[in-house]
Structures are given as C-alpha cells and as structure tokens.
Amino acid sequence: MKSITRPVIALLTIVVLLMGLPAMGATPEPISLPTDNDHLYRGGGAPFYMFVHRNFEGQASRPWTAGKYGFVRNLKRTKDGLIGTKFHEGIDIKPMKRDRSGKPLDDVLAIASGVIAYANTSSKRSNYGKYVVVEHLWDCGPVYSLYAHLSDIKVNVGQKISQGQSIGKLGYTGVGLSRERAHLHLELNLLLSTRFPVWHDKHFTSKNYHGKHNGINMVGLDIAEFYMAQQRKQSLTLPDFINSTPAHYKVTVPRQGPLEILTRYPWLARGDHQSRTPSWEISFSASGFPLAINPSNRTVTAPCISSIRKCRSRHEYRTKGFVSGTGGRATLSQTGTRFIELLTGNF
C-alpha cells in the first residue's frame, strides 16, 4: 500500500473542512422570532397577535384574529358565508414591555442574517410608517423580511446584520395606529420586479419614495405558518413550504421572452422551459403569491384566467380584487392585469 504524502493529507484536510461549511447563500439556520414575544409557539392567539377595532353589523369587537396573515379583515356576508375580504400580508405582533405611559419598549430583531436593503425613516411616506427591509441571500434566491411601524431605526442601508441583531424599536408609526395598538408588522417576501419604479410611474401619479422596496412590489407568504412548519421540521426549505400551498387560480400569459422572476427564483419553474411554447401558465395563491410557472401550448394575445377555484360569491373578495366574476367564470380586473404586467415585465 502506497503511503499518502503530506501535501495530499493537507489537501484532504482542506476539502473536509470546506465540506463542513455552509454553501454560499445557504440558509444557515431557521428563522427566529423578531421580538421577545414567543407566544406563537405556545398557542398564539391574543397574547401574540395585536387586535384591531372592529364594528361589524353594529357590534363592536377587538378580534386578535385580524392580526394574523390572510383574508382576516373587512368582514362580509356572502353566498359562501361570512368571509374576510381584505388581505393582511403579514402578522401583527404584540409588544411584551411598556413603560408607565404605555409606550412599547421591545427591541425588534432580525429574523435571519442578511443585509439592510432599505430603511424608510419617514413615518409619513408609507402606511408601514417607519420600516426596514432585510435581504437574505438563501439557496432559493433573495428573500426579504420587512419590519414595519417602528418607532426608531438603528441600522443603515448596506449594513450586514446577524440573526437576532437589533434593527430598531417596536412602535406605532404609520396610518391609523395608536399607542394602544402598537405592534410589529412582520412580513417575509419575494420580490416581483427590479423594474418596479418604471411600472409604478406608468400607473400612478403619486411619488414612489421606496424604489423597488415598495410594499406593492413584494409578495408575502404566511410567515406564522412557516415558523410553525420549521418547528416541526428544521430542514424545511422555503420552496418546499411554498410548494405545499394550493393554487387558487391560474393565469395564462403570452410568452414574450424570459421571465425576470425565474432568474431570482428558478424553483418556480415547472415542465420543460427549454422548448419554445406560445405562453406561460402561472399558478397563484388566493393572495397572488406565485406558486409555479409552466410552459403552455395555449395561444393567447393577453393575460387571461385559465382556471380558478369555484365559489358562489364574487371572486374579487378572495383575490385582493385581482379577479372578477363568480362561480367558474372569471376575468382579470384592471388591478389584476396591472399585477400580471409587473410580474411578467410586460409593460
């Protein structure tokens, strides 16, 4: 048996050490909670979620459920029963500490390591109030956590930040908030388009102060459910989590070149993308979160609904107003058409 030389041993040692390191852009650990409020892992409910003041059919209430992710606000009686018609993109987390005047004292912490992509220091320029966006370069592509209604921001754009590092203080900046309802609004998002400012200027006369980190340009997943899913399985990836989300509707769009979103999130691709087809079929959750992009042999001249989950009430109630119609009949609304423009880059 030949002896192994020292240079070979040294090389093997380096290889073994490198194999133990996380890959560039990998998720180093599961996301952590952004404040000391850990009641999510102990049943959630009123101790975790901030309530909203509601007056429905003459009855005043303070439901904590309106602080959850999903269609949890603006109740309406429909042929399908009582449903929420206003979508809430993230979760509203209650403070744990207040001073004698009721001012919240909680630190807001990064849920994972990343880079400060954006910090809005003006409470008047967004419904989010003062907010921070952190970019996380994970294996699945860039993911963005958003922390809103802050009273104070402690970080600067471009700054590297570690998981658990303080970003600012929980507060109540933004439209319609009071000291009583101070909370952290937390989101975990994908970015729709790097060309968002161009799209915004085409459709709005108002000034876009936030560049591509405007909330309209980000689609949020159910972060509370993602926390719980990672508790059950720490190795769970974000694509695996999203793949478990059922499609609510699908849109077929003309194929006019590569889709920018697939360069960031190639795991959205399904089927053979190398073969030339006349269109794409994009699957969405009810909130408009893109779930999958398939090549399609259908020829269309404009985006159109190719399937939708049937209901007896109006589709707009369940799709953020992106889809019009009832039952099995559905069309994209003007808002929905603009959204598809942004996602596909056809503007």
Segment 334-347, tens digit of pLDDT: 999 999 999 999 99
pLDDT digits (tens, 9 = 90+) for 187-204: 999 999 999 999 999 999
Residue 269 has pLDDT above 80, yes or no: yes
Tell me the mean pLDDT in the region 75-93: 97
What does the pLDDT read at residue 40? 99
List where CATH 2.70.70.10 sits in the chain. 24-239
| Residue 55 token pair | 């007056």
CATH assignment of 24-239?
2.70.70.10
Structure pTM? 0.90
* Three-class DSSP category at 85: strand
